[in-house]
Chains A and B, each alone.
Chain A
Amino acid sequence: MTKPASIQNAKIEIDGAQGEGGGQVLRSSLALSMATGRPFRMHKIRAGRERPGLMRQHLTCVQAAASICNAKVSGDAVGSQEITFEPGDVRPGQYHFPIGTAGSTTMVLQAILPSLLIAKAPSTITVEGGTHNGMAPPFEFFERALLPLLLRAGAVVRARLERHGFYPAGGGRIIVEVDPPRDIQTIEILDRGNRVSASARALLSRVPGSVGERELAVLQRRLGIEPHECSIRGVENSVGPGNALLLHLEYEHITEVFSSIGERAKTSEAVAEELATEARDYIAHKQPIGPHLADQLMVPLALLAGGTYATGPLTQHARTNIEVIQTFGGRVDVEGEHTVKVHPLSIQR
């Protein structure tokens, strides 16, 4: 059933300042607009921030999205607080997106990957920039936590990290291959089962080894991670120096990845404490899906066959995503305190 053209083409109005009021609204809107073919206009982008409007990392998302679906865009400039985005057909294929300012590669993927997941032809996307940024999911989260769940839902995506990229030098590269979906199905993740393994790893690029040792010592003390579950990995090929601390927690039904990124003049202990605090919360609430996964899963599931999952308290990011999905005609129910039910979005294209 096709909706009347007038409704189909009417631009969806999105308040860019809603919810967390940052790049998330934009990335989710871009993903949904590309997939559904519905144009949107967003105003008050990052209103009230110290530097309001689109930043370069957001602009990169808009431009990458536009190039994949041949969109007509206006207001796509740094500092712009209003854009319109009128998508054309999504064209799977080979894409290469270099990102400035060591911007997060996984964030750009958040905007462009969902529509390619459900495309009828394969794509290969090379993204260059930051692979391990603060305030953004690191590559390992994307590969080891998110992609396996998407595979269960029917999306076939392989990702590999060719080069690490840390702030501020960037220069990392990840390559993502997407096949047309197979066996699309509704997924249900309500229980994580028993812990199978834990592994903590400190990535060090031109940073003294003691940094990794101190970080891992904190994880051992705070989370009871065993020394044999810890490793230090020197990164040889990144452009600039950097440090990331990663923790993989593998359960029977789910793998979660937690991370914390080292910064200049931030002690190794402080870096590790951040991760430890987040991981403890996750371990304590006993739900399978952690806070980041909870919001990252939502849009892809809405475009596939939907799903139900149990998670901890919903973050602002997750709530914002729910609002945006509903603006595009989807539906997400929050049942009880812990269960999110994402309904499949009907897509007419």
Chain B
Amino acid sequence: MKLKRVIFGMVGTTLDTGRGPERWERWRPTVSLCQHEDFAVDRLELLYPRQGISLAKQIVADIATISPETEVRLHHVDPRDPWDFEDVYTALHDFASAYEFDEDEEEYLVHITTGTHVAQICLFLLTETRRFPAKLIQSSPKFRTNDPTGDYRIIDLDLSKYDSIAARFQKEFSDNVAGLKSGIETRNGAFNRLIEEVEHVAAHSVDPILLTGPTGAGKSRLARRIYELKKHRRQMEGPFVEVNCATLRGDGAMSTLFGHKKGAFTGAAADRAGLLRSAEGGILFLDEIGELGLDEQAMLLRAVEEKRFLPLGSDEEVTSSFQLIAGTNRDLRARVEAGEFRDDLLARINLWTFCLPALKDRREDIEPNLEFELEQVAKRTGRTVGFNTEAKDAYVRFAMSESATWDGNFRDLSASISRMATLTQTGRITEEVVRAEVARLGISWGRGPRAVSADLCAEVMGSERAAELDRFDRVQLADVLAVCARSKSVSDAGRELFAVSRARKSSVNDADRLRKYLARFGLTWEMISK
């Protein structure tokens, strides 16, 4: 008994279009599926979004002409947002659940060539998980021929040779879920809108983009995502070049950015291309652009406007075409008024300005990002770590509360998760670990922005030496350092640290005791108090 062949597919709102007779000369995936001499389709279940109804009807009519043996059934499937994974997945999942599959009589194929890439990936996943008991069919135009019918390929995901494809789709899925949100899921409407705008601008403009927002809000990550998006769309072939302007000083700044000729200054032993030229055809991300010196600003303006500039010590201009993304956590207008930033440069880079909100202004995004951060840890360390339910509740409760100021924004969150993941041994983050972490965070924010970032031990000792500490010591030292950091003097710190024994009068010289403790780690009060 020959099984009936049934194909599920989405209307391709771009690829399947065409009204005039010339449409027959083009490869249209859905129509072409039914045009193969060696491949008969008994039924096509065609899914269309509301605005695609007339196109869907056109496809039905065309298939009736070139494949009269094919029955086409139309299904209105309309995710609220066709670019949102959850919406699309839910809509397709509901469709598959409601569909009455009859595997004794029919064989099924899922066509993954049409629809948004979001829909394609969701169809893939639903097929892989057997929500559609089907094989995949992928169609493609036939290159170097004039035959509009194209080619097709059937992929049986149960065959292990397709494991790599499965892996690729899975990755694409996670990449896309993360999307431009720099791997950050978001429930914050304003942030979502911002990201959509950025995506739109990134796709359509080569003008400079200015990203503002506090330290750690994700400017650097967003810049990189814009680059990846453009590269993925083949709008860009050059590299992503990133530099923090706060690290550029003096002659070095000029030469780092614009390059130099051999002998331009002492130590210029060879020609240097400079970052602007390295970014040719790509994106130059200048973080903390407010820190750039006035001379560099002038040169940069010319480079942005005219795509040409003069390397240090050279009398010949060079050219470089790149897209500039600038980041700043400063109010550049105030810098202009203070005479520290050129207003013409600000005007030039201020065309597209996006302000990334501080984490405390989008607290609802903290919870969804916990998983993401844990995955990052897992990727880095190869160790899977998760919260137990109570611990997660406790952490989220704290994270959402007003007392969590998240001064370092995502950098804080990232460091915090990383610390807890490091400190847990079983792979489960417990309430106890969370309690200690909450205390640590409170302390770091209590002192102000400087101590905001990572593990205090690493900050003071360097991460390599800190890594050599036993957990036992590390926790203790971190707490000691935190107290030291907010204390005015070694005696103040000692008083706080040894308050209990002091009350029992069992210790007389707290400061000395603290110095000795620090010395065990090669630390002095002077080192940590600066």
Give chain A's interface residues, CB within 8 Å of chain B: 51, 53, 55-57, 59, 77-79, 98-102, 128, 168-171, 205-206, 238-241, 263-266
Contact = CB atoms under 8 A, between A and B. Distances in A.
Contacts of B62: 169
B68 A241 contact: no
Interface stretch (B29-37, B202-210, B332-340): B29-37
A77 B107 CA distance: 14
Contacts of B25: 168, 240-241, 264
A206 B22 contact: yes
26 contacts: A51-B37, A56-B36, A56-B38, A56-B40, A56-B69, A59-B40, A100-B68, A100-B69, A101-B35, A101-B37, A101-B67, A101-B149, A102-B66, A128-B68, A168-B25, A168-B35, A168-B66, A169-B21, A171-B65, A171-B66, A205-B21, A238-B21, A239-B21, A241-B25, A263-B146, A264-B146
B380 interface: no
Q: Is the interface of A mostly helix, strand, loop or mixed?
A: loop
Given A128-B68, A168-B149, A264-B146, A100 B34 contact: yes
Contacts of B148: 168
Interface string B141-178: 00000111100000000000000000000000000000
A193 B267 CA distance: 100
Contact of B36 (A101, A128, A169, A171): A101
Nearest to A238: B21
A55 B146 contact: no
Interface in B5-54: 21-25, 34-40
B21 A241 contact: yes
A81 to B, nearest CB: 12
Nearest to A172: B65
B520 interface: no
Nearest to B65: A171
Nearest to B3: A77
Contact of A239 (B65, B68, B149): B65
Contact of A265 (B23, B40, B68, B146): B146
A265 B34 CA distance: 23
Given A169-B24, A240-B24, A78 B40 contact: yes
- Of B21, B34, B62, B149, chain A has the most CB atoms within 10 Å of the CB of B21
Nearest to B146: A264
A206 B21 contact: yes
A209 B34 CA distance: 31
Contacts of A240: 21, 23-25
Contact of A51 (B21, B38, B69): B38
A85 to B, nearest CB: 16
A170 B36 CA distance: 13
Contacts of A53: 38
A241 B22 contact: yes
Contacts of A263: 146
A241 B38 contact: no
A293 B36 CA distance: 29
B21 to A, nearest CB: 5
A55 B21 contact: no
- Of B24, B36, B68, chain A has the most CB atoms within 10 Å of the CB of B24
Nearest to B20: A206
B234 interface: no
Contacts of B147: 168
B189 to A, nearest CB: 47
A77 B2 contact: yes
Contacts of A101: 35-37, 66-67, 149
